[in-house]
Amino acid sequence: MTSMLEIPDLLREYDRARAYTDQLWTDLSADEVRWRPHEKSSAIGWHLGHQAHVAHFMIRNLTAAEPSPAPELDPVMDAANPEPARDRLPDPARLAAFRTGVADRVHARIGAIRDGRVGAPRQLTVVATTLLTALINHEYQHDQWIGEVRSADLGHALPDRPQSDLLTELDGYLVICDL
């Protein structure tokens, strides 16, 4: 059985999801990126770092043992840490650089799998398509919260949601699924 979703299509969707995330936050001030609705809530900046943190750990743990691109951010962006402990956020430029660096590693590693430059390329292709689907869905999962805070709490308009034949909406969330 093969997936109807192919790696090149999924990489484009990953980039589309990340571009939408950027539309949700890059025009915000540093204070807005760090602002928390309440003590038991995370700032937009945490969600941005967490999206990249999860992408790195999934790539690292499922396809290649790579060192963290930002070990100092690992304890801050881990969802296992309770919200009150999520205060040491980097500035927006550092968040952007972290996100870009992780996305570059996702592309490099998945590209190596796509091109067969790995051991067990067919098996890793199955892993890569599943992994990319999860990364895309995770990006949109946090985009939903970022968008809600952006519009309801910070009073900024929302950009148009991305359009793709591979996206659907479930429970108000954009998702990609191979149904």
Q: What is the pLDDT of residues 81-118, one digit of tens each?
A: 887 777 789 999 999 999 999 999 999 999 999 999 99
Which residues, at least 6 apart from 114, have a Cβ–Cβ distance to it below 8 Å? Answer: 7, 8, 125, 128
Q: What is the pTM of this model?
A: 0.93
pLDDT (tens digit, 9 = 90+) per residue, 111-167?
Answer: 999 999 999 999 999 999 999 999 999 999 999 999 999 999 999 999 999 999 999
Residue 11, number of CB atoms within 10 A of its CB: 19
pLDDT of residue 156: 98
Which residues, at least 6 apart from 127, have a Cβ–Cβ distance to it below 8 Å? Answer: 62, 63, 113
Which residues, at least 6 apart from 112, have a Cβ–Cβ distance to it below 8 Å? Answer: 118
Between the alpha carbon of residue 70 and those of residues 12, 47, 52, 80, 126, the distances in Å are 25, 16, 10, 17, 28
* pLDDT: which is higher, 93 or 75: 93
pLDDT (tens digit, 9 = 90+) per residue, 5-61?
Answer: 899 999 999 999 999 999 999 999 999 999 998 888 899 999 999 999 999 999 999
pLDDT of residue 1: 37
For the structural domain made of 7-176, what CATH number should be given?
Answer: 1.20.120.450
**What radius of gyration do the chain's Cα atoms show?**
16
Question: Which residue is it, tokens 């909406």?
Answer: 169
Per domain, the residue ranges of the chain are: 7-176
